[in-house]
């Protein structure tokens, strides 16, 4: 088993069983138990067909090192974070999130939902897993634990359900594990739910569990159009991300949601810090400043966001990719909590979402554009040499001017450069994309 291939920047991910099998999961469980050095670890899993076997092997590896396990069963990833925070023990989630059904993976955190990534121990766990577990003494024990009720109480304590208006909401669970928690949450809300595909099914029979791809939103858009709903919510496979559609059937970029939630929080906690990654729209830091807060710019990725939130005491953090992090949720991301905050925001504002969003979208954006290149570093260097403007390398290459900017980042897993562009209007965005593409074709080794 090639552990270098399946250990990524933020988690473990690979094809089952070619790259990730039960033996590998067993080794990872043992390695994580030794790394975490905790008497107990909480373990959850998604609904993929390979998840029960991988979770059982992961737990076996943990108990082989004398560690007890709280087996949480089939749950959402943010429920594992809740367990790690409320029970003050490390957590592990068997999931491949939005990847196709043939994939699976493992997300890890320490007690208090502290992140485990490439700079916070994940590579150490990789090396220990590759070496194999040492002999152990008396094995630990695994016991089933039901945390759904406590989780629902927790997320509802962060908002005020009594303030919610009689909104009509469509939710597409994508046959992922959102269906484990969404019905229990809506039972406690004065909101009308119209649900699609909330039955967990690891074959994903209706569409791929990746709402970032427009084709996977079509059924939800059709439902919203037919029933004139106020808000649409689409979850990814493990429900740590949520994507939103307004009453005019237009998806909201993650930057728009980040800016809206930031303003909502700053009305409650004036002067608070808000974290955003560097590919978020400039509208995010401008909104934070306009509402008296302190914007904090950081690298892309949950381990970086959570670390910066801890260091700065930030109340909220957002990523353009649809991850939203909450101080009161152990600084962990939660698609369901983002949905609840947005519902309260809309209830308090009284206007349709299609109107509310306007003040948070002053710029045009390209969305993420991927370029297959032979050598990502050489390609990025060619772009850096071709453009003037202010340059920084916090995460990839960012070049900015007074009214426009772009970021070019290498993928963590493949020879791809990811481009994000923002400018005052669509014409300027398209022109800047074309210029970057032209440089890559000449000096960057773009694959056709």
Catalytic positions:
97
Using only the alpha carbons of the chain, give its radius of gyration: 22
The whole-angstrom separation of Cα 424 and Cα 82 is 40
- Do strands 142-144 and 103-110 pair parallel, antiparallel, or not at all (unpaired)? unpaired
CA 422 to chain centre: 22
| Locus of tokens 């593409």 | 437
The whole-angstrom separation of Cα 16 and Cα 3 is 13
- Do strands 192-196 and 231-235 pair parallel, antiparallel, or not at all (unpaired)? unpaired
240 with 76: CB under 8 angstroms? yes
| Locus of tokens 């909220």 | 316
The whole-angstrom separation of Cα 136 and Cα 35 is 14
Residue 15, classified by CB atoms within 10 Å of its CB into exposed (0-12), middle (13-18) or buried (19+), is middle
Integer CA distances (angstroms), 19 to 1, 4, 336, 394, 415, in order: 7, 10, 31, 32, 19
Please work out, in degrees rounded to the nearest 5, the angle formed at the alpha carbon of residue 425 by the alpha carbons of 421 and 428. 60
Residue 76, CB-side half-sphere exposure with 13 Å CA sphere:
32
Query: What is the dihedral angle through the alpha carbons of 268, 271, 272, 273, rounded to the nearest 10 degrees?
Result: 150
Task: State the CB neighbour count (10 A cutoff) for residue 19.
Answer: 18
The whole-angstrom separation of Cα 107 and Cα 123 is 13
74 forms bridges with which residues in the sheet?
45
């Amino acid at each position: 088993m090639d552990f270098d291939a399946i250990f990524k920047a933020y988690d473990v991910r690979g094809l089952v069983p070619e790259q990730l099998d039960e033996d590998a999961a067993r080794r990872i469980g043992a390695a994580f138990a030794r790394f975490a050095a905790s008497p107990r670890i909480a373990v959850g899993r998604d609904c993929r067909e390979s998840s029960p076997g991988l979770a059982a092997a992961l737990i076996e590896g943990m108990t082989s090192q004398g560690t007890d396990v709280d087996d949480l069963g089939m749950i959402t990833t943010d429920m594992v974070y809740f367990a790690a925070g409320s029970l003050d023990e490390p957590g592990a989630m068997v999931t491949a999130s939005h990847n196709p059904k043939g994939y699976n993976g493992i997300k890890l955190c320490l007690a208090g939902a502290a992140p485990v990534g490439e700079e916070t121990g994940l590579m150490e766990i990789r090396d220990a897993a590759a070496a194999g577990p040492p002999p152990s003494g008396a094995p630990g024990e695994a016991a089933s634990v039901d945390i759904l009720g406590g989780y629902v109480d927790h997320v509802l304590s962060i908002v005020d359900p009594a303030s919610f208006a009689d909104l009509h909401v469509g939710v597409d669970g994508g046959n992922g594990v959102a269906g484990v928690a969404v019905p229990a949450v809506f039972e406690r809300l004065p909101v009308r739910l119209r649900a699609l595909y909330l039955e967990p099914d690891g074959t994903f029979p209706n569409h791929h569990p990746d709402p970032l791809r427009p084709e996977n939103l079509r059924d939800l858009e059709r439902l919203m159009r037919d029933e004139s709903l106020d808000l649409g919510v689409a979850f990814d496979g493990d429900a740590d991300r949520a994507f939103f559609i307004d009453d005019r059937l237009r998806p909201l970029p993650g930057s728009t949601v980040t800016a809206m939630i930031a303003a909502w929080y700053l009305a409650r906690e004036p002067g608070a810090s808000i974290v955003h990654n560097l590919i978020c729209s400039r509208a995010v830091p401008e909104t934070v400043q306009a509402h008296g807060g302190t914007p904090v710019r950081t690298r892309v990725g949950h381990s970086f966001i959570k670390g910066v939130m801890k260091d700065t005491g930030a109340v909220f953090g957002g990523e353009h990719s649809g991850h939203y992090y909450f101080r009161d949720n152990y600084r962990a991301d939660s698609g369901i909590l983002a949905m609840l905050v947005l519902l309260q925001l809309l209830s308090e504002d009284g206007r349709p979402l299609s109107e509310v969003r306007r003040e948070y979208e002053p710029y045009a954006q390209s969305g993420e554009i991927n370029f297959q290149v032979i050598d990502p570093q050489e390609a990025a260097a060619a772009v850096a040499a071709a453009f003037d403007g202010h340059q920084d390398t916090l995460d990839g290459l960012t070049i900015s001017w007074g009214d426009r900017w772009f970021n070019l980042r290498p993928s963590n897993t493949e020879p791809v450069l990811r481009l994000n562009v923002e400018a005052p209007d669509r014409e300027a965005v398209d022109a800047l994309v074309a210029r970057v593409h032209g440089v890559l074709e000449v000096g960057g080794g773009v694959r056709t």
